[in-house]
């Protein structure tokens, strides 16, 4: 695996499985490998847009969030969770998310990635973050009808996107499922998740890339809520920026 060394992470290899995890959870490497291996071979569906999200409860009491790499669209019905390449995407996402967090972009704390090789340059993968309690922005908009709270959360989503853009992160798959609403005491925040296809740049994003992110988000809203029952014109205006 090509992994840019980071002093906060440790690497382990057992058979066909290779794991890079935060040193905080390194003592649980064997347990994590086992649990992820069980998820990889199980037919159970997880949460999320592609039913690929799972919660891992470690014996220490720590809870992790594991996302199994899974393809969408027509190719997903054929290859499902099999990917090709010598630089696995979960490792790329791990490095990118570590840097995004360092820049102050609101993301779930990255905790690791596991690759299981199934053949030459063929693999299945998992991406790990610290578990976060919350719901997607789409779920929130369907369940909370308090206009003041809705306006606050939409503003937090806009602020997260602005920070993402100003810190050079381009998220080509930005949608209402990839904005996670979390609550701490009486306050809501929004974090950005699923950076599998994202790219980082050294400078703030140019206007064209910002518009591309906004257009993707608008398409998501119209597809999920074509009648505007939950996301009206005012909400779209806040999200669009």
Q: Distance between CA 9 and CA 23 in Å, rounded? A: 5
pLDDT digits (tens, 9 = 90+) for 68-83: 886 554 444 445 678 8
Q: In this predicted structure, what is the pLDDT of residue 112?
A: 96
Interval 181-225: pLDDT, tens: 998 777 899 999 999 999 999 999 999 999 999 999 999 999 999
Q: Is 105:90 a contact under the CB 8 Å cutoff?
A: no
pLDDT score, position 2: 47
pLDDT of residue 200: 95
| Max CA separation in the chain (angstroms) | 54
Instruction: Output the six-digit token pair for 41.
Output: 């071979």
Share of the chain above pLDDT 90, in %: 70
pLDDT score, position 74 = 47
Res. 87 pLDDT band, cuts 50 70 90: confident
The CB density around residue 89, as the number of other CB atoms within 10 Å, is 17
Are 33 and 14 in contact by the 8 Å Cβ rule? The answer is yes
Higher-confidence position of 149 and 70? 149
Instruction: Return the beta strands (E) in the chain as ranges.
Output: 9-14, 17-22, 53-57, 63-68, 83-84, 110-119, 122-130, 134-136, 169-170, 179-184, 187-192, 199-200
Domain count, the chain: 2
Q: Given this model, what pLDDT does residue 241 score?
A: 84
Question: Using CA atoms, how far apart are residues 204 and 174, in angstroms rounded to an integer?
Answer: 17
- Co-location of 125 and 155 in the same domain: no
In degrees and rounded to multiples of 5, residue 137 shows phi and psi of -60, -35
Looking at 84-88, 94-98, 217-221, which range is the least confident one?
84-88
Report pLDDT for 86: 82
Q: Are residues 161 and 235 in the same domain?
A: yes
Q: Residue 64: helix, strand or coil by DSSP?
A: strand
Residue 219 lies in a domain: yes
Each residue of 162-179: pLDDT tens digit?
A: 999 999 999 999 999 999
Please give the pLDDT value at position 46: 47
Residues 139 and 78 in one domain: no
pLDDT at 47: 54
Q: How confident is the model at residue 128 (pLDDT cuts 50, 70, 90)?
A: very high
Is residue 33 within 8 Å of 12, Cβ to Cβ? Answer: yes
Is the pTM higher than 0.85? The answer reads: yes
CATH number at residue 179: 1.10.510.10
Other beta carbons less than 10 A from residue 218's beta carbon: 16
Q: Are 188 and 156 in contact (CB under 8 A)?
A: yes
Question: What letter does residue 150 receive in the DSSP assignment?
Answer: H
pLDDT above 90 (res 3):
no
pLDDT digits (tens, 9 = 90+) for 16-67: 999 999 999 999 999 999 999 887 554 555 455 555 688 899 988 889 999 9
Instruction: Name the least confident of 81-85, 109-113, 233-237.
Output: 81-85
Q: How would you class 229 by CB atoms within 10 Å of its CB: exposed for 0-12, middle for 13-18, buried for 19 or more?
A: exposed
Shared domain for 205 and 173, answered yes or no, is yes
Distance CA 98, CA 229 (A): 37
Residues 122 and 160 in one domain: no
Does residue 73 share a domain with residue 27?
yes
Q: Which of 107, 235, 91 is nearest to 169 (CA)?
A: 107
**Is 2 among the domain residues?**
no
Write down which residue in 130, 159, 191 finishes a domain.
130
């Amino acid at each position: 695996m090509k992994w840019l060394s980071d002093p906060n992470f440790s690497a382990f290899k057992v058979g066909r499985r290779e794991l890079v995890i935060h040193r905080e959870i390194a003592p649980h490497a064997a347990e994590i490998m086992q649990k992820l291996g069980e998820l990889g071979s199980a037919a159970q569906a997880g949460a999320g847009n592609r039913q690929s999200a799972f919660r891992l409860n470690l014996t220490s009491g720590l809870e992790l969030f594991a996302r199994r790499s899974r393809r969408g669209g027509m190719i997903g019905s054929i290859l499902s969770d099999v990917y090709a390449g010598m630089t696995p995407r979960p490792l790329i996402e791990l490095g990118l998310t570590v840097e995004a967090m360092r820049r102050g972009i609101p993301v779930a704390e990255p905790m690791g990635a596991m690759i299981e090789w199934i053949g030459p340059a063929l693999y299945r993968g998992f991406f790990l973050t610290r578990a976060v309690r919350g719901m997607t922005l789409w779920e929130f908009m369907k369940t909370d009808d308090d206009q003041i709270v809705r306006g606050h959360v939409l503003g937090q989503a806009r602020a997260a996107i602005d920070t993402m853009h100003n810190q050079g992160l381009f998220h080509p798959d930005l949608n209402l499922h990839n904005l996670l609403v979390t609550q701490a005491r009486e306050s809501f925040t929004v974090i950005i998740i699923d950076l599998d296809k994202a790219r980082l740049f050294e400078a703030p994003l140019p206007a064209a890339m910002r518009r591309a992110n906004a257009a993707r988000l608008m398409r998501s809203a119209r597809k999920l809520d074509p009648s505007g029952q939950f996301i009206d014109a005012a909400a779209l205006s806040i999200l669009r920026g």
